[in-house]
Chains A and B, each alone.
Chain A
């Protein structure tokens, strides 16, 4: 047993060992310069995660789309079409960058950058493995939600700045939808915070050593996934970029790499929301010791992402009044009920355990 678990442990702590080695190169491993170097390395890793996630997820999405609608999906470029996204990215880079004549140029150009920056900021607080959080923030969940709420502003900026009626309609929809779904999303996470008494994502993962919170908070998990899909503007909640109604919503006037940034941002956000779900509800990097922690983490993220894609390609789009109805009259009361039940459960638990 000892000999078996030894290499696994090494593999599990692979990144920590590398980090330790890099710090060891400095005269004083805890000096400002060592910390700065580590921060820069962490930042680069998060950027790589966002870009890689987008590259892989775009292909995965097209494969899932093919699978649900009974067609092969991309299958020409490279083995089984695996290089398709690279070709698409090159194509996007080669396209002309158009700014409409009537556009508010500054807002128009800043919006995609904001969208692209947000997933990098949110993904920085996720613990990818045991002690593998790029930033170990005590207010992790709070920070995550606060940052992801900014994307609403970016959508309305893109919608307004484009000087296009479709974009404006899409931007207005984005505001209505994302602000409404912010609330159930936040409330669904409160139950877990109440149990663990902490906003720190690392602590929340540690608390799931024996039992993942999806079993203690099934209702909250369902609310989180639904509200998360709405936050991401993914079908069936993709009213913002509903191509059958508002052409492409706020993205209508964008072309080339700016449009590509929106795409990167969308898939980065999808990774971030799935990563938070995996961390808070599915036990993050915790799992049987047959696989290293970070592999477990990405497996769980992958399952949630697959589910989100599957839902997108299966369901028709929801109507805007039904969307609001679902947020305010169904999800919000349910999430408050969940908080109440969690409180009751904690109270009874303390009463029984004499805590």
Chain B
């Protein structure tokens, strides 16, 4: 008996699949277990955010931004309200800026914890997943104290932020004190594990050139050896006042893309500690008119979201509603690398590579 022509297996992963974060679908061509072609299909979570903004007032759109990257909702609020403030030329109080930094960095820690957890879970590291989620709960508790909700917090206002209650500060302090121990635990249960390192190291190489050409941003870019962070490159808010490093790694592989988030958590803690030390007393809301009517014009503003560069482009026609809103989501653009980088790897590795991108489909599909 002779073997006739072999055929590639066309496998449809998603949109309902255990390791597709949210509603992502990829059509995979398989030669045995090896991936020969990947075609990402997105849009299952498309809600038309940009169009929705046109029929909402400026303030009404803030809760919608929560639903973009729902793992770091304060960042989305922040990027949007800062863009509107830039358009209106509003100066916001010192205390509000510090609070925004504190909540932004807390959100960064929470988002990175989810990334570490879900990477571990996509490789069946169940305990590592629950360790990271256990610690993230404490950040959610702090959100809840302040804003009343745990995930989509809607914490920022045009011209300021919510003042956290008195019990927020001891909770924050105890969280900051416990973080070195948490990071040790993640290292012990996941990053130090021989199998995990074998699964991640030198897998899914994203070269520096490719990363730059695809305009990839955030930790994924920095793990490919490019020192670029909007907080340093174009300091917004009060980031120029803090002493922190931008972690850069040169491995370009899945392992570095994951562990760089551990380094970023350390840096975020440094920033929060400085902010808590320096935060002044005072009001948390600037004097903004009741009805927000920015002058005619257009503005683009970008911030460093936990996943990369998040930008808002707003065109105002002088009415209470924006004429056009355009969102530049980080993971939508980072996701381009998946079909290129995953070629030739096993299907297991593709799952791990996808996890290290930390894609949130709310942001990809808008």
Contacts and interface: CB of A to CB of B under 8 A. Distances in A.
Contact of B351 (A244, A313, A321): A244
Contact of A320 (B30, B120, B122, B346): B346
Given A235-B124, A244-B122, A314-B189, A319 B134 contact: no
Interface string A173-206: 1000000000000000000000000000000000
B121 interface: yes
Contact of A69 (B124, B129, B196, B198): B129
Interface stretch (B11-19, B36-44, B282-290): B11-19
A96 to B, nearest CB: 19
A238 B33 contact: no
A244 B198 contact: no
A214 interface: no
Contact of A317 (B123, B128, B129): B123
Contacts of B196: 316
Contacts, number: 86
A321 B18 CA distance: 22
B349 A319 contact: yes
A239 B124 CA distance: 10
Contact of B19 (A70, A71, A244): A244
Contacts of A320: 33, 346, 348
Contacts of B129: 69
B336 interface: no
Interface in B110-127: 120-127
Contacts of A316: 120, 123-125, 128, 190, 193, 195-196, 199
B346 A242 contact: no
Contacts of B130: 69-71
A318 interface: yes
Contacts of A69: 126-127, 129-131
A165 interface: yes
Contact of A319 (B11, B19, B199): B199
Given A69-B130, A244-B351, A245-B347, A236 B198 contact: no
Interface size grouping (class) on chain B: 20 to 34
Nearest to A235: B124
B9 interface: yes
A65 interface: yes
A65 B125 CA distance: 11
A319 B126 contact: no
Interface string B331-347: 00000000000000011
A68 interface: yes
A168 B125 CA distance: 24
A243 B199 CA distance: 16
A245 B351 CA distance: 7
A106 to B, nearest CB: 24
Contacts of B9: 165, 168-169
B11 A165 contact: yes
Choose among B11, B120, B195, B349 the residue with the greatest number of A CB atoms under 10 Å from its CB: B195
Interface of A: 65, 68-71, 165-166, 168-169, 173, 235-236, 238-239, 242-247, 313-322
Given A68-B127, A243-B124, 16 more contacts: A68-B126, A69-B126, A69-B130, A69-B131, A70-B131, A165-B12, A169-B11, A173-B33, A236-B124, A239-B348, A247-B18, A313-B127, A317-B124, A317-B348, A319-B199, A320-B346
* CB-CB nearest 10 A-B residue pairs: A69-B130, A316-B125, A317-B124, A316-B123, A244-B19, A69-B127, A68-B127, A316-B196, A244-B122, A243-B18
